[in-house]
């Protein structure tokens, strides 16, 4: 059954504005007072503010259009479309900052770790809390959650903790050979997970929307899907084109206010995860916690599985070393997060207490970013 074909005007306008703004930066930067991508005049600051607004709008638009495509493809492919769209945006932002001269060698690590903390504690905690307050208890597929946690545990420890214990190069670094090996293992694990999710065991991740009319599946029309595919590609292209400008403005702003370097990773993670997080919380509110978990845990897996290899390849070609191992404090937070996740998703049912515990750990992570 085809659903409404109307597309919100804003979700079309923002992707269209992106290429126009990118052209304005290319043609107008020499005359507006930009120095190394940093605004130094009123007009350059105004253009930078417009870019930030349009970037946020385009990210929301991209996720909206990915969601339209997701409704047409159905689960679990729909969640995969959303996750990959968000991860592409995240990788573009990280790579742009990594390629900036004198950029922080720890940015990729900080962003990946921030995504894990935001998703596995902040987003999961909020979804479980919202669902628990409205429905008391919620159910999900234990087998699906188990697959997520298996791969997430392996990927996070191999990429974020192991570099601190190798001997070829003292931590928090991998040698080139170690980085290549871990990147290959990461890609293999993530590819195998996708095979399990989309082919071999799709029933592990299937989410049933209890609020949907029984016997009716409302799909977007062919026209709506076509418009969304085109707009999604344009929005993703726009983010990639303007990512370098955003990187310069972000770094200049953080230096100006004297914020810790790790704040950049938190900002990038929150920026790209915001639209998908809204979808996940809405799903929990409708008592479809499985979809919330698919969105949340799928994002953290895609972030590690795609971001680390992409940044590793870039830095190997550039001859740069990247700090990839987290501190002992963050290792403890990561271990606590994985331990709590196993407890939360081990029984197949959740309540508000589990959500509150995850939110407390997330609040602790945020506090320690600013007060290390």
Does residue 89 carry a pLDDT above 80?
Answer: no
pLDDT, position 2: 42
Task: Specify the range with the lowest mean pLDDT, choosing from 102-116, 123-137, 229-243.
Answer: 229-243
Determine the pLDDT at residue 4: 44
Please state which of the ranges 34-48, 62-76, 218-232 shows the lowest mean pLDDT.
34-48
Which pLDDT does position 357 carry in this prediction?
Answer: 95
| Confidence band of 113 (pLDDT split at 50, 70, 90) | very high
CA 201 to chain centre: 24
Q: What is the pLDDT of residue 290?
A: 85
Query: What pLDDT is stored for residue 3 in this prediction?
Result: 45
**Nearest-angstrom CA–CA distance, 22 and 241:** 7
More confident residue, 81 or 27: 81
> Using CA atoms, how far apart are residues 286 and 54, in angstroms rounded to an integer?
30
Local confidence band at 120 (pLDDT 50, 70, 90 cut-offs): very high
| Predicted pLDDT at 365 | 96
CATH for the stretch 9-370: 1.20.1420.30
CA dihedral (110, 115, 121, 125) in degrees, to 10, reads 150
Please give the pLDDT value at position 185. Answer: 93
At 345-359, the pLDDT tens digits run 888 888 899 999 999
- pLDDT at residue 137, as a whole number: 85
Q: Which of residues 118 and 239 earns the better pLDDT score? A: 118
Question: pLDDT at position 5, please?
Answer: 46
Gap between the Cα atoms of 341 and 302, Å rounded:
18
pLDDT > 70 fraction of the chain, expressed in percent and rounded: 80
- pLDDT tens-digit readout, 176-213: 889 889 999 999 998 898 888 888 778 877 766 655 55
Output 157 or 283, whichever has higher pLDDT: 157
Three state DSSP letters for the chain: CECCCCCCHHHHHHHHHHHHHHHHHHHHHHHHCEECCEECCHHHHHHHHHHHHHHHHHHHHHHHHHHHHHHHHCCCHHHHHHHHHHHHHHHHHHHHHHCCCCCCCCHHHHHHHHHHHHHHHHHHHHHHHHHHHHHCCEECCHHHHHHHHHHHHHHHHHHHHHHHHCCCCCCCCCCHHHHHHHHHHHHHHHHHHHHHHHHHCHHHCCCCCCCCCCCCCCECCHHHHHHHHHHHHHHHHHHHHHHHHHHHHHHHHHHHHCCCCHHHHHHHHHHHHHHHHHHHHHHHHCCCHHHHHHHHHHHHHHHHHHHHHHHHHHHHHHCCCCCCCCCHHHHHHHHHHHHHHHHHCCCCEECHHHHHHHHHHHHHHHHHHHCC
pLDDT at residue 300 above 50? yes
Q: Which residue has the higher pLDDT, 218 or 270?
A: 270
Name the residue with higher pLDDT: 145 or 69. Answer: 145
- pLDDT, one tens digit per residue, over 3-47 is 444 567 777 777 777 667 666 666 655 555 555 555 555 666 676
Distance CA(59)–CA(276), nearest Å, equals 10
As a whole number, the mean pLDDT across the chain is 79
The pLDDT confidence band at residue 161, using thresholds 50, 70 and 90, is very high
Q: Where are the domains of the chain?
A: 9-370
Binned at pLDDT 50, 70 and 90, residue 81 comes out as confident
- Contacts of 111-114 with CB under 8 Å at 24 or more apart are 111/264, 111/265, 111/268, 111/269, 111/303, 111/307, 112/159, 112/160, 112/265, 112/303, 112/304, 112/307, 112/308, 113/160, 113/265, 113/326, 113/330, 113/334, 114/262, 114/265, 114/266, 114/268, 114/269, 114/270
């Amino acid at each position: 059954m085809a659903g409404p074909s109307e597309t919100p005007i804003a979700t079309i306008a923002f992707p269209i504005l992106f290429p126009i703004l990118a052209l304005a930066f290319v043609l107008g930067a020499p005359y507006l007072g930009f120095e190394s991508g940093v605004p130094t005049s009123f007009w350059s600051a105004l253009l930078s503010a417009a870019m930030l607004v349009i970037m946020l709008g385009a990210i929301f638009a991209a996720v909206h259009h990915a969601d339209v495509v997701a409704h047409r493809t159905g689960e679990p492919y729909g969640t995969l479309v959303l996750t990959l769209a968000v991860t592409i945006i995240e990788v573009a932002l990280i790579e742009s900052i990594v390629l900036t001269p004198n950029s922080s060698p720890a940015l990729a690590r900080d962003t990946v770790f921030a995504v894990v903390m935001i998703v596995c504690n902040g987003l999961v905690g909020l979804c479980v809390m919202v669902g628990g307050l409205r429905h008391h208890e919620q159910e999900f597929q234990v087998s699906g959650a188990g697959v997520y946690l298996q791969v997430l545990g392996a990927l996070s420890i191999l990429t974020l903790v192991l570099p601190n214990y190798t001997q070829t190069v003292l931590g928090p670094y991998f040698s080139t050979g170690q980085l290549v090996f871990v990147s290959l293992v990461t890609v293999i694990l993530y590819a195998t997970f996708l095979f399990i999710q989309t082919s071999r065991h799709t029933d592990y991740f299937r989410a049933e929307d209890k609020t949907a009319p029984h016997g009716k599946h409302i799909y977007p029309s062919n026209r709506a899907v076509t418009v969304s595919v085109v707009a999604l590609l344009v929005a993703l292209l726009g983010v990639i084109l303007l990512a370098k400008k955003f990187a310069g403005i972000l770094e200049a702003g953080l230096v100006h206010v004297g914020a810790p370097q790790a704040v950049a990773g938190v900002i990038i993670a929150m920026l790209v995860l915001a639209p998908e997080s809204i979808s996940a919380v809405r799903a929990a509110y409708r008592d479809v916690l499985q979809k919330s978990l698919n969105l949340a845990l799928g994002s953290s897996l895609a972030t590690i599985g795609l971001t680390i290899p992409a940044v590793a390849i870039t830095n190997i070609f550039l001859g740069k070393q990247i700090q990839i191992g987290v501190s002992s404090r963050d290792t403890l937070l990561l271990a606590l997060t994985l331990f709590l996740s196993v407890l939360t998703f081990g029984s197949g049912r959740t309540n508000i207490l589990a959500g509150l515990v995850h939110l407390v750990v997330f609040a602790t992570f945020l506090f320690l970013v600013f007060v290390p």
